[in-house]
Amino acid sequence: MIIRRIAPILILFVLASCSSRQSLFVVLPNADGSSGAVTIETDQKSVLLDHPYAAGEVRKGVAAPVQVDQTQVQQIFGNALAAQPVLPSHFVLYFEKDSDVLTPASKRQYESVFDDIKRRPVYEVEVIGHTDTMGTQPHNQQLSMSRAEMIRDRLVHDGINPKSISVAGRGSLDEAVKTADQVTEPRNRRVEITVR
């Protein structure tokens, strides 16, 4: 008798738990509108999400595609998205031949590096120096380090916290443009700066 009375309630309860969503996954567009892909892997099934706003959910341990629009994303994920840090930036500054003096164009671009750092509440700056393949390896190692240190010193002089800057020199190991040995190449005489 009691069973009869609570059976519908039990069925409702089980139905509700069967059909309730355990997790939701949504691919978002990159700044340029493109997107990469993610795969939801469960014991039962895998679901590939490979375009902006492609979404999948897991119910009862099983993954399946689902329709989600921009408004729903904002409703569910608005707080998480609002907490997103300023995205990391990447800069390349170029140098005169066999020297730690910036080219005129890169001297101007230094200002945008500095501005980018200043707009962040906290920051970490990585400066990595490089050379072309002209000259000996020890010389280029030294030169790549001098280039990185020159940028660091300039940033510190302009008020950036030295503790938040790391420097390294890679000699001619990581060429931006592959060349033979003993070749002068303006695009390889550079520092790569990451600000995050």
Partner 1 sequence: MNFTNRFWHTAECFAFILAMLAIAGSSANADNSQVAQIKTVSGQAEIVRNGARAAAKIGDPLYEKDTIETGADGSIGITFIDNTVMSGGPNSQIVLEDYKFNSSDFKGSMLTDMNRGTVSMISGDIARSTPGAMKVKTPTAILAVRGTSFVIEVKP
| Under rule CB under 8 A, residue 196 binds partner 1 | yes
Q: Which is nearer to partner 1, 124 or 175 (CB)?
A: 124
Give the single-character DSSP code of 33.
Answer: S
Give the single-character DSSP code of 44.
Answer: S
* One of 70, 77, 112, 187 touching partner 1 (CB under 8 A): 77
Subset of 7-36 contacting partner 1 (CB under 8 A): 20-30, 35-36
| Under rule CB under 8 A, residue 65 binds partner 1 | no
Give the whole-angstrom CA distance, residue 116 versus residue 189. 22
Question: In this structure, what token pair is assigned to residue 121?
Answer: 């509440």
Nearest approach in angstroms of CB 96 to partner 1 is: 27
Give the whole-angstrom CA distance, residue 55 versus residue 103. 47
Burial pattern 96-119, b for ≥16 Cβ within 10 A else e, equals eeeebebbeebeebbeebeebbee
Subset of 106-165 contacting partner 1 (CB under 8 A): 120-122, 124, 126
Q: Which stretches of the chain bind partner 1, using CB under 8 A?
A: 20-30, 35-42, 49, 58, 61, 63, 73, 76-88, 120-122, 124, 126, 194, 196
